[in-house]
Copies of this chain bind each other. A is one copy, B any other.
Amino acid sequence: MTTARSGKEPKPKFEAAAPVRMKDIARDMGLSTMTISKALRNHPDISDETRKRVLKRIKELNFQPNLAARALITGRTSTIGLVVPDLLHPFFAQVAKAVSAGTRGHGYSLIITSSEDDQALERQEIDQLLARRVDVMLIASAQTTEESFRRIEERGIPYILIDRLITGLPANFVGVDDEAVGFLAASHLIDQGYRRIAHIRGPDTSTALGRVLGYRRALAARQLAPLPGHIVSIGSSGDDRGEPGGYAAARKLLRARQRPDGIFCFNDPIALGAMRAILDAGLRIPEDIAVVGCGNVLYSDFLRVPLTSVDQDSAAIGRLAAELALALVGPKPPVRPKTELIEPKLVVRASSLRK
């Protein structure tokens, strides 16, 4: 770049160089802005030779188009919004990581926000992303109603539900088969000889409901049924859902008229809390009570008692979600909502192995 830039630069501010614009390159090469633009976007309306020359110069000058300007005229921002309930939760961290990896190199930036498992906050975050006109949204939602999603649809922005379904909403979905999760976990406990199998369930999301269903089905398949008080719920405030919530829930189970000899927990942090409660009560795992978690994202092998857990392959969820997202913003997006169900796998460790 040898020619000076047009216009009057107010002050030659020390070291705060304005980025190169198409106009600059155009003047530099004796072409029109349009030609640069066409070259950059592989528009057919230009000769191969010119395109090569322009691209070479673009690389030399390290030119990057102003995405705000492009967004203004095209209406596409080249951004993807991702809403998760908690970035610290290893499951969602892994999903985020995989989505990030899956969209890398496609020219999109990922705006990641956390809802802290709070419905109102999640609606705000979704509104922010709408205001920002993301091209597609990925949401692991804490919502129980479809209202926010109607707003997204009104704007014509495609979105994908991750991990959690919203009943009555025919949306794109990538997640695990939660009924299979519950079935797998409970069946395993029965197979190991446990009979009084309890469940610490999660809050009112499709995920929790599906797992309860699978758990019940597994018991029923062996002519068993949950004993009274053997399904306990985690508090609905976000803070109770992890380890402390698991501790409290397990204590409740230990006081039940018939003490369970196996507990299937909604997720691993809850299982951790449950294990602590059991050990604190002077009981042994798995001799007195077996524990199965879900997620398999913790360092489960290193726990006091290595934890049997249902693996949801969160990396695959993130990867598939990223692929679907790119398809939705691509040239010929699928018209019908697509559902990708991952089959869960059980990873057996000491916490559920009857000797």
Residue numbers of A with Cβ under 8 A of B are: 13, 15-17, 19, 64-69, 71-72, 77, 79, 86-88, 90, 93-94, 96-97, 100-101, 109-114, 116, 127-133, 153-156, 243, 269, 272, 275-276, 298-299, 301-304, 306
Give the CA-CA distance A113 to B109 in the complex, in Å. Answer: 8
Which residue of B16, B97, B113, B243 is within 8 Å of A156 (Cβ)?
B16
Contact B111 A67 (CB under 8 A): no
Contact A87 B77 (CB under 8 A): no
The listed residue (B15, B110, B298) touching A154 by CB distance below 8 A is B15
Q: Is the pair B112, A153 in contact by a Cβ cutoff of 8 Å?
A: no
**8 CB < 8 A contacts A-B:** A19-B155, A64-B131, A79-B111, A88-B90, A88-B97, A90-B93, A303-B303, A303-B304
Distance, CA A111 to CA B269, complexed state (A): 28
How many copies the complex holds: the figure is: 2
- Chain B residues whose C-beta falls within 8 Å of the C-beta of A71 in the assembled complex: 68
Complex Cα distance, B18 from A154, in Å, reads 9
A299 CB contacts on chain B under 8 angstroms: 243, 269, 272, 298-299, 303
Q: Which residues of B contact A66 (CB under 8 A)?
A: 72, 133
B100 in contact with A112 (CB, 8 Å):
yes
Residues of B within 8 A of A306 (CB): 304
Do the beta carbons of A64 and B303 come within 8 Å of each other?
Answer: no
The residue in chain B whose Cβ has the minimal distance to the Cβ of A303 is B302
Q: Inside 8 A of A86's CB, which chain B residues have their CB? A: 97
| CB contact between A155 and one of B17, B67, B114, B276 (< 8 Å): that residue | B17
In the complex the two chains form, is A15's CB within 8 Å of B153's CB? yes
Given known contacts A15-B153, A88-B90, A153-B15, A109 and B128 CB-to-CB distance under 8 angstroms = yes
Q: Most chain-B CB neighbours within 10 Å: which of A79, A129, A275?
A: A79
Known: A68-B133, A87-B97. 16 other contacts (CB 8 A): A15-B154, A17-B156, A19-B155, A64-B130, A67-B131, A67-B133, A68-B69, A86-B97, A93-B93, A97-B114, A100-B112, A100-B114, A110-B113, A243-B299, A272-B302, A298-B299
In the A-B complex, list the 8 residue pairs whose CB atoms are closest, starting with the nearest.
A16-B156, A64-B131, A68-B71, A87-B97, A112-B112, A68-B68, A68-B72, A93-B93
A72 touches which of B69, B88, B97, B243 (Cβ 8 Å): B69
Q: How far is the CA of A243 from the CA of B301 in the complex (A)?
A: 11
* Closest Cβ–Cβ distance, residue A77 to chain B (whole Å): 6
A335 → chain B, closest Cβ, in Å? 13
Q: Which of A111, A127, A306 has its CB near the most chain B CB atoms (within 10 A)? A: A111
Measured CA separation A120–B96 after assembly (Å): 21
Q: Which residues of B contact A154 (CB under 8 A)?
A: 15-17
A79 to B110, CA, bound (A): 11
The reply to whether A100 and B127 contact each other, CB–CB distance below 8 Å, is no
What residue in chain B is nearest A17 (Cβ atoms)? B154
Give Cα A67–Cα B269 distance, bound, in whole angstroms.
39
